[in-house]
């Protein structure tokens, strides 16, 4: 089951970045040695979308400030120097919403009768709201030379 969920998430992220936005995106899972030797810096920006209905879940997208700014520049066509913190936050929220929507459509029965919340963007880490979720997945992706982490929690 986890393999199917991971595949579906990878497909959703690839669909958003590679197909819709024409940006190369690769899975970037750290090796066990990397996990033991270094912890990634805390995220500067977290965008989250909640699912309600038959599919109860939370999707959180995390990235550092530089990645958020440069991905926003790639997506808007603006120079990175013109990207404000608000525009970076809006872009992260839209990306999370698109990824959540692409993942939702891969769950035909549950997804069809589930609603997505508006994206919530905050500075810092992702905190899943109650109810507590039984399953949690964290996946890392590389977009160009930028990294992002996607957390999905669900029942």
Q: In which band, very low, low, confident or very high, does the pLDDT at 147 lie, cut at 50, 70 and 90?
A: confident
Three-state SS for 92-135 is HHHHHHHHHHHHHCCCHHHHHCEEECCCEEEECCCCCCCCCCCE
CATH number at residue 141: 3.40.1550.10
**Domain containing residue 74:** 2-154
Q: Give the H/E segment covering residue 74.
A: helix 65-76
**Residue 145: DSSP 8-state:** T
What gap in Å lies between CA 150 and CA 155, rounded to an integer?
A: 17
Structural domains of the chain, count: 1
11-56 pLDDT, tens digit each: 999 889 887 778 888 887 655 555 555 555 567 899 999 988 887 8
| 14 contacts 84 by C-beta, under 8 angstroms | no
50-95 pLDDT, tens digit each: 988 887 889 999 999 899 999 999 889 999 999 999 999 999 999 9
**Across-strand partners of 27?**
141
């Amino acid at each position: 089951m986890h393999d199917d969920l991971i595949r579906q998430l990878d497909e959703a992220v690839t669909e958003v970045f590679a197909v819709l936005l024409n940006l190369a995106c690769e899975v970037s899972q750290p090796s066990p040695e990397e996990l033991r030797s270094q912890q990634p810096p805390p995220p500067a920006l977290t965008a989250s979308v909640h699912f309600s209905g038959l599919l109860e879940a939370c999707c959180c997208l995390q990235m550092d400030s530089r990645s958020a700014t440069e991905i926003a520049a790639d997506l808007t066509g603006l120079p990175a120097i013109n990207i404000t913190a608000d525009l970076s936050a809006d872009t992260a929220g839209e990306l999370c919403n698109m990824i959540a929507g692409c993942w939702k459509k891969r769950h035909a029965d549950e997804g069809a009768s589930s609603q997505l919340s508006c994206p919530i963007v905050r500075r810092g880490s992702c905190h899943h709201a109650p109810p507590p979720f039984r399953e949690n997945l964290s996946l890392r992706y590389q977009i160009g030379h930028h990294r992002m982490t996607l957390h999905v929690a669900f029942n």
